[in-house]
A and B are shown apart, each in its own frame.
Chain A
Amino acid sequence: MSLTDSLPFVEFGAPFLQQALFVTLAFAILSVVFETLIGFGQALVLDQDFYGRRWVRVSIIIPWAIPIVIQGMIFFLIFNPTIGFGTEFMQSIGVFGETPLASSDDSFLIVLVADIWKTTAFMALLILAGLQSIDRGLYDVAKVSGASPWQRFKYITLPLVAPALLVAMLFRTMDAMRIYGLIDATAGCETVPSLTCLVIIALQESRRWATASAVAFLTAVVISGFVVVYLLALRNSDGGVA
């Protein structure tokens, strides 16, 4: 259980709201970072012209179309100690404890992976759309002036796709900040409490409507903070939204 200590963010006993805020922020930032990076990789692959692209594209996009309850169930089963292989594997490389779905740290990781699996596809889709709107002629110009593929990526692809990328990240962050269904369908709100979890716990278990509304507003405030950051970044990248 040594690893549990090094991941201090879910400790029962600490103020619940603080935990929820921390879990939510950590989840939002980590998931968006990984989903953006992997999604970018997928989009770059899908942007190529190759035989069978249509089916590769469908395959990569399809996790995004999976209902949350099914997504949750898949990962619940994978990490179910008696059925799935995931626990055993993660234990063998020394990351997980005995019952990962009851441990906050392990569950956080499971929720994160499950979310990355599903929503990376959405990022890939949005980034791909951005990539496809880049004028191909620019690449020819770059090739003629002797730019290496890496330089072409750095000086053409990245700046031109930046607005689409930021918009995609904005929508993803807003979504990730409101995570609930996936947690409920895998580890449960008690194990990995997010802000929306708090809203629902306050509603269903203690019927504290005022508390629930307060947490909902807090979530909105945190999200609007992110939105402001993105909008400023968007303005700097010269890509007007709409």
Chain B
Amino acid sequence: MSADPADREPVADGGAADEPDPTVEMAEQAGREEPDLDRGIVEAWAAKMISNPDRAYRATFYVATFFFLVTTLFPFYWLLVVALTPRNNLSEVGVFLPAGFNPAAFIDIFTTLPFHRYVFNSFLIATVATVAVLLVGSLAGYVFGRLRFRGRNAMLLLVLVTSFFPPAAFFIPLNRLFNTNVDVLRPLLSAGSLYNTPYAIFIPLSAIFLPLSIFILMTFYSQIPDGLEDAARVEGTTRLGALFRVIVPLSAPGVATAGVLTFISVYNEYFFSSLMTDGRPQNWAPMLEGILRFQGEFEVLYNLMAAASIVAVLPVAILVVVAQEKIVSGLTTGAVKE
């Protein structure tokens, strides 16, 4: 199984499980590679590897990279294969090639359903939630990261404890709350209740993903030298002013990381997204409902589901491409140099 995993079964869990080994016993493994070669050549090659371990490590590195690339990317490729296969041929879809060629699926998803509206709803909800989380998380991060006060650790633990509960647990009270007509909200929301509004999704999700952002921002804000905050305050800002004019800009990688993590988490969330609306796009149903609709109302249109999935992944995929370096450096939490 460990011989040439890359060429064989890309999603097999067994192969995946074996794979961290290269880092552990790289030399030996490299020596065992390519078993179908002539014995003599293998021996010569193994001998060379043993005498020159750096080359063996290099070889293992390339094999591992290739393996990881295949296992992560293949499912996307196969999704594309399914999307391009005409619906009637779905049972004949291959592993590597579509059975037929039907790019029209990528147009059909917008005509059968207003799928763009679903994606827009998700995008908007995720954006609003991200802004809210960054704002609240910044304030909390400042307090936890830069102020010393009694009970700080206890409160921090309390923030973490909210993450112990399944989000579903919050659904019970929220569901009742959001379905209650609140007269105060009537001028704002036609129905007077939060159900079927974007608030019903972004409020609980903001709260659920807030702790992680607090932890990230706290770590960053705590590393900004005191002198900089003092300087800003002496120069004429309030504490809040120093936070947003000096501390936040200097923590850009951390803020970006927290933002991207929140955006992706909210965009990808499953539970609340599937329950807080009635599933109609004009009622702010998110992208998830759109994809599931291809399954429900008509017959199961797997090719359209696949096409819709590819479209729905694009925003987050672009985000990852753009922000990946920031995310890594953001999680590395490098101290700010003055």
**A residues at B contact (CB < 8 Å):** 34, 37-38, 40-42, 44-45, 48, 54, 56-70, 73-75, 77-78, 80, 82-83, 85-86, 89, 109, 112-113, 116-117, 120-121, 125-126, 128-130, 132-133, 148-150, 153, 171, 174, 178, 180-182, 184-185, 195-196, 199-200, 203, 209, 212-213, 216-217, 219-220, 223-224, 227, 242
Is the CB–CB distance between A125 and B328 below 8 Å? yes
| Closest beta carbon of chain B to A36's beta carbon, Å | 8
Between A and B, 29 residue pairs with Cβ closer than 8 Å are: A40-B23, A41-B22, A41-B64, A45-B61, A45-B64, A45-B68, A56-B69, A61-B324, A62-B320, A65-B264, A68-B270, A69-B292, A70-B291, A74-B75, A77-B79, A89-B12, A112-B13, A121-B72, A129-B328, A133-B332, A153-B23, A178-B167, A180-B168, A180-B270, A216-B169, A220-B161, A220-B169, A224-B161, A227-B160
Closest to A219 in B: B166
Interface residues on chain B, size class: 35 or more
Contact in complex: B331, A126 (CB < 8 Å): yes
CB distance from A175 to the nearest CB of B (A): 9
Task: Across the A-B interface, give the 5 residue pairs with the lowest CB-CB distance, nearest first.
Answer: A181-B270, A216-B169, A129-B331, A41-B20, A220-B164
CB distance from B278 to the nearest CB of A (A): 15
Complex contact B271–A181 (CB within 8 A): yes
* Separation of A34 and B161 alpha carbons in the complex (Å): 25
Other-chain residue from A41, A181, A184 in contact with B23 (beta carbon distance below 8 A): A41
Residue of A nearest to B264 (CB): A65
B172 touches A74 (CB 8 A): no
Name B's interface SS. Answer: helix
CB contact list, B9-27 vs A, under 8 A: 9, 11-13, 16-17, 19-24, 26
Contacts of A196 in B (CB 8 A): 166-168
Please determine whether A203 and B168 come into contact, CB atoms closer than 8 angstroms.
Answer: yes
Minimum CB distance partner of B309 in chain A: A70
Chain B contacts for A57, CB-based, 8 A: 324, 328
* Residue of B156, B212, B271 ringed by the most chain A CB atoms within 10 A: B271
In the complex, are the beta carbons of B17 and A149 less than 8 A apart? no
Q: How far is the CA of A66 from the CA of B161 in the complex (A)?
A: 26
* B23–A219 CB distance below 8 A: no
B19 & A41 in contact (Cβ 8 Å cutoff): yes
Nearest CB on A from B10, distance (A) = 10
- Which A residues touch B171, using CB under 8 A? 200, 203
Collect the chain B residues with CB atoms within 8 Å of residue A69's CB. Answer: 270, 287-288, 291-292
Closest A residue to B257 by beta carbon equals A129
Interchain CB contact under 8 A, A68 and B166: no
Q: Which residues of A contact B53 (CB under 8 A)?
A: 148-149
Contacts of A64 in B (CB 8 A): 264, 320
CB distance from A28 to the nearest CB of B (A): 13
CB atoms of A59 and B91 under 8 A apart: no
Checking A41, A83, A120 against B82 with a beta-carbon cut-off of 8 angstroms, the contacting residue is A83
Query: Do residues A113 and B13 form an inter-chain contact, with CB atoms below 8 A?
Result: yes
- Which residues from B are CB-within-8-Å of A68? 268-270
Residues of B within 8 A of A125 (CB): 327-328, 331
For A182, the chain B residues whose CB sits under 8 A away are: 270
